[in-house]
Amino acid sequence: MNYLEKFRPQYHYSPERNWMNDPNGMVYYEGEYHLFYQHTPFATQPDFQRMHWGHAVSSDLVYWEELPPALPPGEDGAIFSGSAVVDKHNTSGFFDEEGSGLVAIYTNNDNKVQADKPQVQSIAYSKDNGRTWTKYGGNPVLFPGTTIDFRDPKVFWHEETSKWIMSLAVQDRIEFYTSSNLKEWTFASAFGADAVGTHRGIYECPDLFSINVDGDPNKKKWVLILSVGDCNGVNPNDPEPPAGGSGMLYFVGGFDGKTFISDEPVDSIDDLKWIDFGSDFYAAVTWSNMPEGAGRRLWLGWMNNWRYAGLLPTSQWRGSMSMPRELKLKTYPEGLRLVQEPIKEFNGIRSTLATLENVTIEPDMNPLVDITVDKAELIAEFEIGTATEFGFKVRKSADEETVIGFDSIEMELFVDRTNSGITNFHPDFAAKHRAPLDLSGNRVRISIYIDWSSIEVFGDDGTVVISDTIFPAPESNGLELYAVGGHIKLVSLHINEMESIWRMSDKVKEEAHADRGH
């Protein structure tokens, strides 16, 4: 396997073969970032009765090593989404006295242990840095009352109460449980059943964490993340996520060890805070046990959408992850808002391709006509002029292009993938995805990350993000800077080539590039 097949992401993680979806068990331990994920290791389609935890590790969140699947299904059911923690004080009793290790907390789907309870929570532990796992003999450790949807436990240690806290997706709400040992769990509270406009799909993959406000370690808030599935919810008349299908929401508030209270209750759909305005960022969760002193909250998401997830035009594998991103909580006139930025570690794999400064762009001119890129970083700042629309056309050829632009009339950032390449595998794929963007003064700042099958756009320093998959032909690598209806001033533009994270010999690269179009 050379990782240079057609559409294979070059600086985003994807498994060598077969199906992947939600990131799971994200934990930093003994110098390694662990990425587990939903994985069907024998097929390019999801098998919900035989789902595994796939596994990869990295020392820097850029280069990844894929390991054998960590948790296989068994008589206890398939291994659905969950989390992993470092049991530093051996509260579970799984480790040697005074020792520590990793504990995974996950959902068993199609459970056979508890009759009529198809989804239950189980745990497993590892004494060798996540390479091998032992399922707890007392599983399941938590099972539902009557609901069928009871899954995706995200667990963390709450210092103030000296308890483990579990956030769990339970159909139309998030339930919180507490434990002293990861084995026995007590219900604490629930959130979200009365949140207006959020129940088109069932809740999935919650995450609750404390984060600095404006970078001040003495000022913190709690953020609750939840993913909303593609319909099958309590109220199918609720609004879809901005780009349709599955999407993600967040709430900012307080947590006392038992109850989460949002600072801004959701009384109408106008109160909803969407995390991403593209189609393809879902089930994101944060890494636990980050290095001391780092002060960073990092995560990544699955770059796919349940509306068409199993139809993507890839062959040997299906599904990939976003770039790891750093989350920040910043104060704006409208309140506290979550901001996302690509992690700084990616600076190490970029090289300067071109720079421009103080150029006036008129209609029908393209100063980038001689530049070709298929995996790149574009960092641009514009000063508003008379143009009604402006931006970039990337992965461009005579009949393909993905347009990333700003609508000066509607004040919207957008990604238009209607002519981006292969789009006919689902009627909703060819679409234009929009996000409202409030300007800082009279300027627009956009950072764009292009890969062989993805676009990630960060507007105004990450206050607005649009993440979309695309499937262009390999030869579609043109780049255009455009303006419509008037001029625009390009204050600055940095175009950086991004190198592949799949390390291999030059000979293998040459052979793979020769074959890539087939």
Residues 6+ positions from 321 with CB-CB distance below 8 Å = 12, 13, 14, 20, 23, 35, 37, 300, 301, 302, 303
In whole angstroms, give the CA distance from residue 63 to residue 34: 12
In whole angstroms, give the CA distance from residue 167 to residue 257: 11
Q: How far is CA 220 from CA 190, 262, 386, in A?
A: 22, 14, 42
In whole angstroms, give the CA distance from residue 420 to residue 182: 47
Tokens describing residue 317: 């594998």
Cα torsion 464, 467, 470, 475 to 10°: value is 60
Residue in 22, 149, 230, 374 annotated catalytic: 22
Instruction: Write out the DSSP string of 147-187.
Output: -S--EEEEEEEETTTTEEEEEEEETTEEEEEEESSSSS-EE
- For residue 205, give the 3-state DSSP assignment: strand
Tokens describing residue 66: 């894929």
In whole angstroms, give the CA distance from residue 77 to residue 141: 14
Evaluate whether 375 touches 452 at the Cβ level (below 8 Å): yes
In whole angstroms, give the CA distance from residue 363 to residue 51: 52
Evaluate whether 362 touches 483 at the Cβ level (below 8 Å): yes
Evaluate whether 313 touches 425 at the Cβ level (below 8 Å): yes
Using only C-alpha atoms, what is the Rg of the chain?
23
Q: How far is CA 389 from CA 379, 404, 412, in A?
A: 18, 10, 10
Q: How far is CA 104 from CA 118, 183, 396, in A?
A: 19, 11, 44
22 is catalytic: yes
Tokens describing residue 481: 């800077």
Beta bridge partners of 445: 381
Question: Is the torsion defined by CA of 255, 260, 266, 272 positive or negative?
Answer: positive
Question: Is the torsion defined by CA of 255, 260, 266, 270 positive or negative?
Answer: positive
Q: Is 337 exposed, middle or buried (0-12, 13-18, 19+ CB in 10 A)?
A: middle
Tokens describing residue 93: 């009793």
Q: Is 268 exposed, middle or buried (0-12, 13-18, 19+ CB in 10 A)?
A: exposed
Q: List residues with catalytic annotation.
A: 22
